[in-house]
Each structure stands twice: as structure tokens, then as C-alpha cells.
A = this chain, B = another copy of it.
Amino acid sequence: MKKLLFLFFVCQYAFAQNSDSVFVSKIYSEILSNGKAYDNLRFLCKNIGPRLSGSIGAQKAVEYTQKLMASYGFDRVYLQDVMVPHWERGAKEEAYYLLNGKKIKVEIAALGGSVATGPNGLSAEVVEFRDFNELKEAGIEKVKGKIVFFNRPMDPTKVNTFAAYGGAVDQRGAGASQAAQYGAIGVIVRSMNLRSDDFPHTGGMRYSGGNMIPAAAISTNGADALSLAIKSNNNLKFYFKQNCKTLEDAPSYNVIGEIKGSESPDEIIVVGGHLDSWDLAEGAHDDGTGCMQSIEVLRVLKALGYKPKKTIRAVMFMNEENGLRGGTKYADEAVKNKEKHVFALESDSGGFTPRGFGIVGEEGDISKIEKFKELFVPYSIHEIGKGSGGADIGPLAKTGTVLLGFKPDSQRYFDYHHASTDTFESVNKRELELGAAAMASMVYLLDNQK
């Protein structure tokens, strides 16, 4: 009898695995044959474009995604108020250095949150450092009154480019305040880009005490040329002008679409991306793809007639790039309304071929999700395990939510990240769709998890 019982459970398990693999295959077929994410992304990128928090583009993106989800007939589509920072670049930056009496023009972009230089710009000797230790060693006497140039490249030997980013981005985020401590009057930072090209990559920076000095990114080619010029010219003079400003906080929204759970409607699974983007391009990979994939997850489940057991929400978070106000507000509201978020999945690493999912949670939660690995092997997805979730869903951790980060191939991400190259054309339709299918499959499996 015991043996029979055991056999019964083994069969049950095999049957569940089999029906899961059948449904996952349906998800892939629907998205690869009739997927809408690519066309929706085209609209977001080409008809709306840049959508930094507080901008008209951001507001249009709110309205577009609300209408789009309503058009798919989700059970509920609504907005969640959130006040966001409002920073504007203003007129295009100018920069050059003087080499043997000649002005060598340079492509720069003000970092998000930076102050302006004033209408006459800034001109001073430029000194180069690789990191904050070198800056500290140089000290006030070598830095005061100068422009500091941080030029440590992302480490190309890291196979995962996010690790290379993590090892270099302190220069962008904290470089201005670090340099200001030693009396610098401005900061130029090598772009967070592994490629040699002419595009400056902007991104968030923060002032943490000291004078608020202007900070800008310089393209990787520009950084290499500037570094060479400094080596061959003592006291090289650098000039830059930027016209950015921080305005009053502005009203904005998270955009939420929901399919109500049929068995446990109070248990919520979130799948999301962030709707805001930097202002230099179209925010295609960062993070139009994550938003359009998240909407596609709900669309495909509905199109296949699937009735989720738990409530499934697609959330377009506002203001990931320069404040995280949307993600913070969403978690605060969840706490206030005593909502039970069991899982949250974010796609904010680009619309490239899926490689896996990172998980943040208790050991037991992680090992349960790792069991799905086998189901993903036919789709060339192998990396499911402990990892990182996503910035916007991070604040949900305090409510005990298990967080998942969608993990696509990372090689090309920093070619586009925060630069004018992050356009619709840089997205491959199949790669985007395979991501959406992987996410939908994961959401389906999580929905069926006891």
C-alpha cells in the first residue's frame, strides 16, 4: 500500500510537470507567433520617446500604458499617485580642451541630478584619477580649483557586464561629492560603457555633503583621447558648460494592470519594469522592454484562457532612474493596504536573449524555484538561482515578498544604457519575445506554486 501511495505521488508529480511543460510551450508559441511586445515597444519608443520623471514624455507613457492595458481587457487598470523629482538637462552641453592652442571638442552629457555650470561654463586645469584612493592621495593641494576627471574603465574581463558596471559606477554616483571634498570645481566621468565609441552615457549621481559641483559623463573615446592629452600636456585646460536644473517635485504615477486571482485573490504576484527613462534616447532596453514584456505576460495568460489562482499585476514603476519613488510608494501602499505580495518579478536588464532568473528570498523559497530549471532547459535557460531582484521591487522585500530578477544576456546592455543609442532599433524582436515568454512561464509556475 505504501508503495502504491508512493507511486501515486510520483505519477501526480510527473503529471504536473508534464502539464506545466505543455502550458509553457503554449506560452512560447503564442508569444513567438502573435507577440505584441515588439509593436508596443515601437509605439513607446517612436511615438513617445524619452520619458524622464516629470517630463511630458513620462506623462504620455503613463496614459499610453494605461490605455494599452485597458484595451487588453485586464480586470482592473489603475494609476497610483507618486510625486517624483523633476530634473531637466536644458540646452545641449558644450565642452572642449585646449591642445597646442587648439580647441578639441568633446561629447559630454550632464549627469542626472547635477547642477549647472552657470552661463559662462567652467574652465580649469583637469586632473585625472582612476579611483577615490588616487584622489585622496593627491589631496587638496593637487585638486583644489581644478576639474577632476575620473577615468577608470569598466573591467572587460568580467563576463557578466553588470559586475563590471558595479565595479566602476561609484565614479558616476559619488565622484562629484568625493572630488568636492578636495576643492574640485567640476567633475568629468568616463561613461559606463565597455565599447569604444563617441556617445556619453548619463545616469544618476547624488550629492552627499560638500559643495555641489557640476558633473558630466564623457564618451569612452573622448575619455581615452583626454587621458592621452593630459599625459602629453602639463596643466591641460578643460572647459565645459551645462544648463541643467532641478525643478519642483512633480506629480506622476505608477501604472497598474491586474488579473484577479480565481482561488487566492489576496495573494499577489507582481511583474514589472520601470516606465521612466533617461532623456538622451528612447529608453528602449532601459526599460521599455521590461514594461512591454510585463504587459505581455498578462496578455498571453489571458489570450490562452488561463485563469490565474493568485492575482497577477503588471506594474509600470515610475522614477527608477533618479529617485525610486514609484517602487517605494508601491511597497508603502502594499503595507498600508495590508496586501500580501508573494512574488515580484522585475525585468530591468534589457530585452536580450534570456539566460535565467536571480532570486532573493529564504533558502527554502529559492530551492523551490530552482526546481523549475528543468522546464526551462528546452528554452536554453539555465541560470535560475540566488541572485538579485530589481530596484523597483526591492522595497517589497520588507513585506516578505520573494523577489525575482529576469536575467537576459548582458553583453550588449551597456552599449545602450543611458545613452542616445538606446533606441527601438537596438532591440531584436525574437530576443524581446523570448524574454516575455520566459517571464510569463515563470509567473505561471509561481502562480501554481503551493
Contact = CB atoms under 8 A, between A and B. Distances in A.
Given A28-B157, A353-B409, A409-B409, A195 B429 contact: yes
A302 B449 CA distance: 53
A289 to B, nearest CB: 14
Contacts of A159: 28, 32, 378-380, 434
Contacts of A332: none
A353 B383 CA distance: 15
Contact of A353 (B33, B382, B411): B411
Interface in A30-69: 32-33
B412 A428 contact: yes
Contacts of A340: none
A17 to B, nearest CB: 19
Nearest to A412: B428
A240 B126 CA distance: 64
Interface in A129-188: 156-157, 159-161
Nearest to A407: B380
Contacts of A29: 157
A194 interface: yes
B430 A411 contact: yes
A237 interface: no
A206 interface: no
Contacts of A195: 429
Nearest to A35: B156
Looking at A33, A194, A409, the one whose CB has the most chain B CB atoms below 10 A away is A409
A282 interface: no
A340 B159 CA distance: 35
A379 B415 CA distance: 20
Interface in A391-437: 409, 411-412, 415, 428-431, 434
A428 B415 contact: yes
A157 B353 contact: no
Given A353-B409, A353-B411, A411-B434, A160 B428 contact: no
Contacts of A33: 156-157
B353 A380 contact: no
Nearest to A30: B157
Looking at A33, A156, A409, the one whose CB has the most chain B CB atoms below 10 A away is A156
A355 B383 contact: no
Contacts of A160: 380
B383 A411 contact: no
A352 to B, nearest CB: 9
B428 A411 contact: yes
A32 B163 CA distance: 14
Contacts of A411: 353, 428, 430-431, 434
A195 B32 CA distance: 12
Nearest to A196: B429
B428 A32 contact: no
Contacts of A156: 32-33, 430
Contacts of A28: 157, 159
Contacts of A415: 428
Nearest to A29: B157
Contacts of A429: 195
Contacts of A383: 380, 382
A355 B380 CA distance: 8
Interface string A350-365: 0001010000000000
- By Cβ-Cβ distance, the 5 closest A-B pairs, closest first, are A382-B382, A32-B156, A29-B157, A411-B430, A32-B157
Interface of A: 28-29, 32-33, 156-157, 159-161, 194-195, 353, 355, 378-380, 382-383, 409, 411-412, 415, 428-431, 434
Given A159-B434, A411-B431, A412-B431, 6 more contacts: A28-B157, A32-B157, A159-B378, A194-B430, A353-B353, A382-B382
25 contacts: A28-B159, A29-B157, A32-B156, A32-B157, A32-B159, A33-B156, A33-B157, A156-B430, A159-B378, A159-B434, A160-B380, A194-B430, A353-B353, A353-B409, A355-B380, A380-B409, A382-B382, A382-B383, A409-B409, A411-B428, A411-B430, A411-B431, A412-B428, A412-B430, A415-B428
